[in-house]
């Protein structure tokens, strides 16, 4: 057996954290990554789909999102719902509480709205009904977010698993309620006639406006209030938080109530402004996409307006290109582009170092 | 050393792949004989002009991967070929959930210039209805729905088919197979128990398995049946589990009303005869597939396109039968089916068409030991699902006559539900 010297035992590649990088440089890397991702998507589309060339891909991507007035409204609406749920997950994420239960919190919020409209619709004036729906949704969402927080604070349960499991419980409850409400109907609840949000300017306007106001509120809450600061401190270091006298359990619980309540609001908007009904898939995975949106924006609500719009733009544009062939096509496109973005974040934060010996033997370092 | 092992692994893998391929080809070359269909598809004839700017849009819950949606897509292709429509005249929206997204898809199709918009899933209905209210100049047609005959909109239409007749015929084929097994001494008459994998416990499925059972009972009086529900239209694992459970429970023949290959593939594996649905599973199950019934939507497509082009109104609620070519059967697999199945099915099909046989003849079944003389079904849609229409007259249950979508939801004697699943 040969004897190995020290340098030979050193791995060929090593990952080293970068000191720092000028903002212009990191932004440039991100733009290049997005463009590279879209380029790969275009290549894939040209290869896989009939009648698509590179120019048509780019053109359709944009026309799908901005082509008609209806598409623009749809883009705004879809981005707003996604943004609303992204805002919901953000406070918890800033305190490094990995809440992946937004899907279930939103769904249970939507269910609360539907339940109120189902039982009380027609018996109360619409404004009262809407107020009750909103209240019920926010409460339901908050409870759904609060339960994992209590367990985390009291018994140190793993919040990622707990919130994830709560999604399935929510789905099950929705299925159960639908089976009760419409047994002879294959569990399909037709659009309810009551509890519709008023149409101002456009069907989707109110939803978009509410979300934009909410964005400002969440931004102020996180950056300019004591509670927001406490969240940041707990996120930085729980020990520091304890040292300065912050009750970590209390902050975790309160923040999860806020997260859940905003999810509940999103559920209310989905029911009151869009679906007027519910299925087990009413949230359609947005609770998970929202995690991505929030993370891409570095948990900053204002930047999230951009990231949610970007993700929705990709989804909608890709749907125009390929969903007539395969409904999963938009997911493929969004997946590829996000993969590139996440990849570039890695290279912004870290660099890869080659083994020293190889460097000596090779060209200049 | 490592390289050698890798190379060895590769060689083994490739050899296995080759062998696998060879085995597949062998199986195909030994394919069994299929007879003609006792209830074949009808030829579509074009006796009208379609304007060059005519467009029709299709909203589908999933895509080709689901046998349910595939059945609709195949019908589109058939009508497209018969009418010589170009690809630009047909617009698909696939993977559309039963939510506001359906309304958006319908509006997109209107924007794209569609004259007719068709949606294929039950839960699409109320969203399609919303689009129909908004665009009175466009015709909206919906499969399996229940609201059109009471909605009072001139441009909103429901359609279904009397598929229970197809199921009944498929049931006759099953009964003949059971008789053959009894005659061969494989089972006793008391052991003639069939298994049925259903999606949900509601009218569409209940109507389907009851007509299947009555078909089998018409030739094999001792037959019983067990039904296991999966709670999903498409869940291969659950359908496999349900079929396996039924077979382990002593069922000697399986049929299903769910959209995956789950039940048929278990049957092929365990060599249990299978009566399929929504299209032939013969290729995957050459030794156990008997026959399959399905709805052919192309006659309805032809009807709505013709009505639109000629300016005649489309019926609010349309039910196609064997006569229109809406209910069809595949050919019969002679390897699995009993002798003389084709002739018997042709005879029964003729009697169904002439009205000599009624599927839900109240003399052929009992409910809790008694003959059914009256039943009020929920035909007109309302929020509380109130029964509103007497459907037993002249000695039979009038399925799909007051409304195309099925409303037979009675549990009859001889059929045991192992579970229920409403969603």
Spans of all domains in chain B:
56-162+297-320, 163-294+329-359+404-417
Residues of B in contact with A182 (CB under 8 A): 385
How many angstroms separate the CA of residue A213 from the nearest CA in chain B? Answer: 24
What pairing do the DSSP bridges indicate for beta strands B317-320 and B327-329?
unpaired
Residues of A in contact with B93 (CB under 8 A): 323-324
Q: What pLDDT score was predicted for residue A6?
A: 54
The single residue listed with the structure tokens 């039950």 is B122
Q: What pLDDT score was predicted for residue B22?
A: 44
Would an 8 Å CB–CB cutoff place B107 in contact with chain A?
yes
Q: Quick check: A327 and B95 CB within 8 A?
A: yes
Distances, alpha carbon B133 to alpha carbons A249, A274, B317, in Å: 53, 16, 17
Residues 6+ apart with CB under 8 A from A116: A129, A132, A133, A136, A195
CATH class of B163-294+329-359+404-417: alpha beta
pLDDT at B8 over 60: no
Q: Which of A89, A86, A88 is nearest to A304 (CA)?
A: A86
Name B275's bridge partners.
B255
Residue B4, number of CB atoms within 10 A of its CB: 8
Tell me the pLDDT tens digit for each residue of B186-239: 999 999 999 999 998 889 999 999 999 999 999 999 999 999 999 888 889 999
B179 contacts B219 by C-beta, under 8 angstroms: yes
Residues of B in contact with A279 (CB under 8 A): 97-99, 123
How many angstroms separate the CA of residue A19 from the nearest CA in chain B? Answer: 39
* Dihedral (CA of B416, B419, B420, B421) sign: negative
Tell me the longest C-alpha to C-alpha distance in chain B.
83
Probe site for chain A from B99, B110, B199 (most A CB atoms < 10 A): B99
Token pair of A140, please?
Answer: 């339901």
Q: What pLDDT score was predicted for residue B10?
A: 54
How many angstroms separate the CA of residue A281 from the nearest CA in chain B? Answer: 8
Chain A's closest residue to B112, CA to CA, is A68
A65 contacts B95 by C-beta, under 8 angstroms: no
pLDDT at B28 over 50: no
Residues 196-255 of B with CB under 8 A from A: 200-204, 231
Q: What pLDDT score was predicted for residue B33?
A: 81
Compute the distance between CA of residue A40 and CA of residue A91 in angstroms, rounded to an integer: 34
Q: What pLDDT score was predicted for residue B255?
A: 97
The single residue listed with the structure tokens 């559309």 is B96
Number of A/B CB contacts below 8 angstroms equals 77
Q: Which of A70, A184, A274 sits opposite B385 (nearest CB)?
A: A184
Residues of B in contact with A284 (CB under 8 A): 97, 99
Helices (H), B321-399: 341-354
Residues of A in contact with B61 (CB under 8 A): none
Would an 8 Å CB–CB cutoff place A282 in contact with chain B?
yes
Q: Which of B125, B200, B204 sits opposite A187 (nearest CB)?
A: B200
Residues of B in contact with A328 (CB under 8 A): 95
Tell me the pLDDT tens digit for each residue of A148-178: 999 998 899 999 999 999 999 999 999 999 9
Would an 8 Å CB–CB cutoff place B127 in contact with chain A?
yes
Would an 8 Å CB–CB cutoff place A51 in contact with chain B?
no
Compute the distance between CA of residue B57 and CA of residue B41 in angstroms, rounded to an integer: 23
Q: Quick check: B202 and A183 CB within 8 A?
A: yes
Q: Which of B365, B370, B372, B308 is nearest to B89 (CA)?
A: B308
Q: Which helix (H) or strand (E) element contains residue B403?
A: none
Q: Which of B348, B406, B355, B332 is nearest to B34 (CA)?
A: B332
Length of chain B: 423
Would an 8 Å CB–CB cutoff place A316 in contact with chain B?
no
Q: Which of B291, B300, B301 is nearest to B329 (CA)?
A: B291
Compute the distance between CA of residue A344 and CA of residue A15 in angstroms, rounded to an integer: 14
Q: What pLDDT score was predicted for residue B260?
A: 86
Compute the distance between CA of residue A152 and CA of residue A154 in angstroms, rounded to an integer: 6
DSSP A220: H
Cα B285 to the center of its chain, rounded Å: 18
Three-state DSSP class for residue B232: coil
Tell me the pLDDT tens digit for each residue of B316-373: 999 999 889 999 999 999 999 999 999 999 999 999 999 999 999 999 999 999 999 9
Ramachandran category for residue A16: left, alpha or beta (phi over 0 → left; psi -120 to 50 → alpha): beta
Residue A71, number of CB atoms within 10 A of its CB: 20
Q: Which of B18, B24, B92 is nearest to B61 (CA)?
A: B92
Residue A342, number of CB atoms within 10 A of its CB: 13
Q: Quick check: B202 and A185 CB within 8 A?
A: yes
How many angstroms separate the CA of residue B157 from the nearest CA in chain A? Answer: 16
Would an 8 Å CB–CB cutoff place A165 in contact with chain B?
no
Would an 8 Å CB–CB cutoff place B92 in contact with chain A?
yes
Tell me the pLDDT tens digit for each residue of B228-269: 999 888 889 999 999 999 999 999 999 999 888 899 999 999
Q: What angle do CA A253, A256, A260 make, to 5 degrees?
A: 140
- Mean model confidence pLDDT for chain B: 90
Length of chain A: 365
pLDDT at B14 over 70: no
Q: What pLDDT score was predicted for residue A199?
A: 94
A342-346: long-range contacts, CB 8 A cutoff, minimum separation 24: A343/A33, A344/A29, A344/A30, A344/A32, A344/A33, A345/A30
Residues 6+ apart with CB under 8 A from A270: A81, A106, A110, A282, A283
How many angstroms separate the CA of residue A179 from the nearest CA in chain B? Answer: 5
The correct answer on CATH 3.40.50.2300 for the domain covering B56-162+297-320 is yes
Helices (H), chain A: 6-9, 23-48, 54-66, 69-94, 102-120, 126-155, 159-181, 205-224, 226-236, 238-243, 248-269, 286-296, 301-322, 329-349, 356-361
Q: Quick check: B126 and A277 CB within 8 A?
A: yes
Token pair of A15, please?
Answer: 């990952």
Q: What is the pTM of this model?
A: 0.87
Same fold? B56-162+297-320, B163-294+329-359+404-417: yes
Residues 145-164 of A with CB under 8 A from B: none
Q: Quick check: A279 and B99 CB within 8 A?
A: yes
A279 contacts B97 by C-beta, under 8 angstroms: yes
Cα B96 to the center of its chain, rounded Å: 20
Would an 8 Å CB–CB cutoff place A72 in contact with chain B?
no
Residues 6+ apart with CB under 8 A from A332: A41, A44, A318, A322
How does DSSP assign A110-177, residue by residue? HHHHHHHHHHHTTTS-HHHHHHHHHHHHHHHHHHHHHHHHHHHHHH---HHHHHHHHHHHHHHHHHHH
Q: Which of B92, B98, B130 sits opposite A279 (nearest CB)?
A: B98
Give chain A's residues under pLDDT 50. Answer: 1, 361-365
Q: What pLDDT score was predicted for residue B147?
A: 92
Q: What pLDDT score was predicted for residue A322?
A: 78
Q: Quick check: B204 and A186 CB within 8 A?
A: yes
Q: Which of A184, A187, A326 sits opposite B63 (nearest CB)?
A: A326
Would an 8 Å CB–CB cutoff place B380 in contact with chain A?
no
Would an 8 Å CB–CB cutoff place A179 in contact with chain B?
yes
Q: Which of B62, B108, B422 sits opposite A179 (nearest CB)?
A: B422
Would an 8 Å CB–CB cutoff place A326 in contact with chain B?
yes
Compute the distance between CA of residue A142 and CA of residue A164 in angstroms, rounded to an integer: 16
């Amino acid at each position: 057996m040969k004897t190995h010297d020290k340098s030979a035992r050193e791995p060929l590649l090593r990952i080293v954290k970068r000191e720092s990088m000028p903002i212009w440089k990191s932004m440039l890397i991100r733009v290049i990554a997005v463009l590279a991702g879209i380029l790969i998507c275009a290549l894939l589309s040209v290869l896989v789909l009939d009648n698509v060339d590179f120019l048509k891909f780019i053109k359709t991507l944009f026309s799908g999102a901005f082509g008609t007035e209806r598409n623009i409204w749809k883009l705004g609406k879809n981005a707003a719902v996604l943004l609303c749920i992204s805002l919901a997950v953000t406070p918890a994420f800033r305190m490094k509480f990995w809440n992946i239960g937004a899907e279930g919190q939103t769904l249970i919020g939507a269910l609360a709205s539907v339940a109120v409209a189902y039982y009380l619709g027609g018996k109360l004036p619409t404004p009262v009904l809407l107020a009750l729906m909103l209240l019920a949704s926010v409460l339901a969402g908050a409870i759904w977010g609060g339960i994992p927080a209590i367990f985390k604070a009291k018994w140190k349960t793993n919040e990622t698993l707990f919130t994830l499991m709560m999604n399935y419980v929510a789905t099950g409850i929705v299925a159960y309620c639908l089976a009760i409400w419409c047994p002879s109907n294959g569990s399909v609840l037709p659009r309810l006639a009551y509890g519709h949000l008023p149409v101002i300017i456009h069907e989707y306007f109110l939803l978009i406006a509410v979300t934009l106001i909410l964005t400002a509120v969440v931004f102020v809450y996180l950056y300019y209030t004591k509670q927001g600061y406490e969240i940041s401190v707990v996120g930085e270091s729980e020990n520091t938080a304890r040292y300065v006298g912050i009750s970590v359990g209390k902050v975790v619980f309160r923040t999860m109530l806020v997260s859940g309540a905003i999810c509940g609001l999103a559920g209310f908007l989905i029911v009151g402004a869009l679906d007027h009904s519910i299925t087990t898939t009413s949230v359609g995975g947005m609770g998970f996409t929202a995690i991505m949106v929030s993370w891409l924006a570095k948990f900053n609500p204002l930047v999230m307006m951009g990231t949610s719009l970007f993700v929705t733009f990709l989804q909608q544009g890709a749907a125009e290109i390929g969903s007539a062939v395969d409904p999963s096509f938009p997911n493929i496109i969004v997946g590829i582009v996000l993969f590139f973005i996440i990849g570039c974040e890695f290279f912004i934060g870290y660099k890869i170092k080659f083994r020293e010996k190889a460097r000596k033997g090779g060209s200049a370092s | 050393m490592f390289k050698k092992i890798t190379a060895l692994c590769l060689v083994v893998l490739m050899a296995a792949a080759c062998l696998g391929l060879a085995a597949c080809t062998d199986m195909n070359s030994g394919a069994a004989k299929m007879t003609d269909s006792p209830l074949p598809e009808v030829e579509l004839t074009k006796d009208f002009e379609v304007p060059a700017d005519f467009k029709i849009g299709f909203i589908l819950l999933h895509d080709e991967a689901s046998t349910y949606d595939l059945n609709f897509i195949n019908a589109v292709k058939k009508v497209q070929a018969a009418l010589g429509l170009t690809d630009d005249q047909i617009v698909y929206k696939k993977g559309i959930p039963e939510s506001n997204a359906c309304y958006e898809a319908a509006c997109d199709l209107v924007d794209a210039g569609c004259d007719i918009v068709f949606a294929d899933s039950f839960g699409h209905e109320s969203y399609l209805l919303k689009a129909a209210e908004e665009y009175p100049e466009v015709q909206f047609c919906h499969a399996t729905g229940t609201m059109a005959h009471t909605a009072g909109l001139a441009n909103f239409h429901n359609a279904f088919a009397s598929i229970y007749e197809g199921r009944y015929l498929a049931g006759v084929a099953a009964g003949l197979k059971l008789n053959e097994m009894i005659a061969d001494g494989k089972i006793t008459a008391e052991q003639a128990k069939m298994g049925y994998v259903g999606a949900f416990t509601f009218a569409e499925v209940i109507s389907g398995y009851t007509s299947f059972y009555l078909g089998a009972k018409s030739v094999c009086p001792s037959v019983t049946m067990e039904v296991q529900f999966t709670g999903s239209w498409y869940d291969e694992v659950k359908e496999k589990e349900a079929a396996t459970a039924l077979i382990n429970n002593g069922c000697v023949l399986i049929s299903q009303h769910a959209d995956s290959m789950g039940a048929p593939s278990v049957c092929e594996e365990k060599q249990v005869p299978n009566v399929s649905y929504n299209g032939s599973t013969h290729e995957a199950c050459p030794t156990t597939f008997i026959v399959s019934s399905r709805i052919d939507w192309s006659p309805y497509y032809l009807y709505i396109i013709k009505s639109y082009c000629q300016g005649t109104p489309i019926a609010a609620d349309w039910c196609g039968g064997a006569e229109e070519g809406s209910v069809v059967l595949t050919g019969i697999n002679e390897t699995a089916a009993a002798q003389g199945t084709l002739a018997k099915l042709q005879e029964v099909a003729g009697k169904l068409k002439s009205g000599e046989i009624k599927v839900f003849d109240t003399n052929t079944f009992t409910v809790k030991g008694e003959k059914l003389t009256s039943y009020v079904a929920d035909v007109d849609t309302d929020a509380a699902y109130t029964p509103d229409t007497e459907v037993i007259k002249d000695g039979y249950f009038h399925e799909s006559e007051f409304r195309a979508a099925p409303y037979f939801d009675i549990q009859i004697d001889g059929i045991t539900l192992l579970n229920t699943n409403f969603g």
